[in-house]
Amino acid sequence: MIQLVDIHKSFKNQKVLDGLHLEVEGGKTTVIIGLSGGGKSVLLKHMIGLLKPDSGSVIVDGEDITKMNDRDLNETRKKFGMLFQEAALFDSMNVFENVAFPLREHTKMTESQIGDRVQSRLQDVGLVGVEEKMPSELSGGMKKRVGLARALVMEPRIVLFDEPTTGLDPIMTEAIDRLIYESQKKYNLTCVVISHDLKSIFDIGHRIAMLYDGKIIGYGTPDEMKNSENPVIRQFLTGSLEGPISVV
Amino acid sequence: MGRVIAFFDRFGRSIFSALEEMGSMLLLFLSVVAWAGRPPFKTRLIIKQMEFVGVKSIFVVVLTGLFTGMVMTLQIYYGFRMFSAEALVGSTVALGMARELGPVLTALMVTARAGSAMAAELGTMRVTEQIDALYVMAANPVKTLIVPRVIAGITMLPVLTVVSVFVGVLGGYFVGVPILDINKGMFIKNITTYVSLSDIYNGLIKAAFFGFILSFVGCYKGFTTTGGAEGVGKSTTEAVVVAAITILLSAYFLTALMF
């Protein structure tokens, strides 16, 4: 479904992705783990064409999006939804307008059809009666849920999540994880999730990929990753200061 | 020798950086032109921006226009009285307002009020990934964010300039006729004699050009913001400084060309 082939990406003189290969399976949730500042968000942005690699290919449904013109890239992007780290809701629009935005932009639905779809998505994420609120009036968890409703409103096949639970309390983290899990199951989505939260990783991930030093150094099911012999993966998953990853 | 090389290194880098910025501005300009002509047109967003740039700037434009007309009348009166040309005060104020001060002052005030807000809003949208969200939703940010603001700038500045010139002349009248005792008939007649329609048209063309400058620079600086809250502050300051300087410089060249 999504293949990243030999991706290299540098910013000024700093190499972030260095010959990265990854294949994201359709209809499954792949969680990408790795150190903070290790290039996970950069990797996610390559999948949807927000960043272009210095070299390498990003293949979505058999087509290389790095070689597409803007029009074709936009068509491909309609297959995607994305939940940003801070939700990225439009400050100037209320909740309803935020969720309705992609429908108004790309469909010929009537206002009543848009209203029904928006209500249904807001119900999916457990938010009713907040349609008129502005993003500044919402808590962090509510923003993420509205962001998720917006990401799902166009019924995409692929949804990307950039640290969906960072900064949330454990109960809200659990709620967001459950929403991701249930949405994936209900709509048979292909999900790619960036997360640091070990519980989330094993709760929602069908596949886990570890990004380290610009490359995917481990890929497998949660059990395979738990039992990995790779010292970097072991250190990361146990959260130990002792090991090949030196942070202090 | 090392210092000389370092000097040329810095000099070369700043030239490259300036050329890079000009190139990136040109690319954005071409993109704005291309998207402005491509339907569907974002009428609702354009009207919203016209309200923001135009309607919400009226108070500040009226205030500056009024007091500029009043103070010009005072100053010109003291000069013209020396050779008994008080009757020409009204027409001189009207010419000055229509040709130069109306468009320039309006543009500077709207730059401070709306151009800075454009840079801050787009800059915040950039650093909070709202612009990335537009790309992800296959909605072009140039069409959604920049085109409506630039159209609002180009269309509303001439309207605001008309208001500014009108209240400026009105302010001049109220200082000149009742306070300085200039003959009312001569004050008005000389305005109609010496101010031609072309003076007003050219002033409005200037205003439209300034409207483009302040909105485009505001949007460009906001759109290319990097570096969080500090970056937004920097972009906003740069937007105001660059737009104000460009307006003042281009005012001279446009005047030299037009009149």
pLDDT tens-digit series, residues A94-105: 999 999 999 998
Task: State the average pLDDT over residues A62-78.
Answer: 93
Q: Is A80 on the interface with B (CB under 8 A)?
A: yes
pLDDT category at A82 given cuts 50, 70, 90 is: very high
Pick from A78, A90, A91: which is nearest to B138 by CB?
A: A78
Please tell me the distance in Å from B136's CA to the nearest CA on chain A: 6
Q: How far apart are CA B119 and CA A7, in angstroms?
A: 34
Chain B neighbours among A 204-243 (CB < 8 Å)? none
Q: Which residues contact A238 (CB under 8 A, 6 or more apart)?
A: none
Q: Is the pLDDT of residue B258 over 70?
A: yes
Q: What is the pLDDT of residues A111-147, one digit of tens each?
A: 999 999 999 999 988 888 899 999 999 998 899 999 9
Task: State the average pLDDT over residues B208-212.
Answer: 98
Task: State the average pLDDT over residues B58-76.
Answer: 96
Q: Is the pLDDT of residue A217 over 70?
A: yes
HSE of B91, CA atoms in CB hemisphere, 13 A: 18
Query: Of A28-37, A42-51, A86-95, A160-169, where does mean pLDDT reach its minimum?
Result: A160-169
Q: Is A101 on the interface with B (CB under 8 A)?
A: yes
CA distance readout (Å), B225 to A242, B13, B126, B189, B218 = 39, 20, 7, 52, 11
Paired strand residues for A33: A210
Q: Which of B217, B237, B240 is nearest to B21 (CA)?
A: B217
pLDDT of residue A248: 62
HSE of B202, CA atoms in CB hemisphere, 13 A: 20
Angle, CA B130 vertex, CA B213 and CA A44 arms, to 5°: 125
Q: Is the pLDDT of residue A59 over 90?
A: yes
Q: Which of A183, A191, A173, A154 is nearest to A77 (CA)?
A: A154
Q: Under an 8 A CB cutoff, do A89 and B137 touch?
A: no
Q: Is the pLDDT of residue B259 over 90?
A: no
pLDDT category at B34 given cuts 50, 70, 90 is: very high
pLDDT of residue A45: 95
Look at the block and give the residue holding tokens 């029009």. Answer: A71
DSSP tally for chain B: helices H, then strands E: 12, 0
Q: B124 to chain A: nearest residue by CA?
A: A91
Q: Which two tokens stand for residue A9?
A: 């990406």
**A71-76, long-range: CB < 8 A, 24+ apart:** A73/A49, A74/B138, A74/B140, A75/B138, A76/A49
pLDDT of residue B29: 96
Q: Under an 8 A CB cutoff, do A85 and B132 touch?
A: no
Q: How far apart are CA A124 and CA B184, in angstroms?
A: 73
Q: Is the pLDDT of residue B24 over 90?
A: yes
Q: Which of A128, A137, A145, A142 is nearest to A91 (CA)?
A: A137
Pick from B129, B132, B137: which is nearest to A105 by CB?
A: B137
Pick from B132, B139, B140: which is nearest to A88 by CB?
A: B132
Task: State the average pLDDT over residues B37-54.
Answer: 92
Q: Under an 8 A CB cutoff, do B136 and A80 touch?
A: yes
Q: Is the pLDDT of residue B229 over 70?
A: yes
Chain B residues in contact with A82 (beta carbon < 8 A): 133, 136
Task: State the average pLDDT over residues A165-176.
Answer: 86
Q: Which residues of A104-143 are buried (b: 16+ CB within 10 A; e: fewer)?
A: ebeeeeeeeebeebbbebbebbebeeebeeebeebeebbb
Q: Is the pLDDT of residue A246 over 80?
A: no
User: Does residue A196 contact residue A36 with C-beta atoms inside 8 Å?
Assistant: yes
Whole-model pTM? Answer: 0.88
Q: Which residues of A181-191 are buried (b: 16+ CB within 10 A; e: fewer)?
A: bebbeebebbb
Mean pLDDT estimate for chain B: 94
Q: What is the pLDDT of residues A178-203, one digit of tens each?
A: 989 998 998 899 999 998 888 888 88
The proportion of chain A whose per-residue pLDDT surpasses 90, expressed as a percent, equals: 72
Cis check: omega of the bond before B103, within 30 degrees of 0: no
**A96-102, long-range: CB < 8 A, 24+ apart:** A96/A131, A96/A132, A98/A135, A98/A146, A98/A150, A99/A146, A99/A149, A99/A150, A99/A153, A100/A153, A101/A150, A101/B137, A101/B139, A102/A150, A102/A153, A102/A154, A102/B137, A102/B138, A102/B139
Task: State the average pLDDT over residues B215-225.
Answer: 97
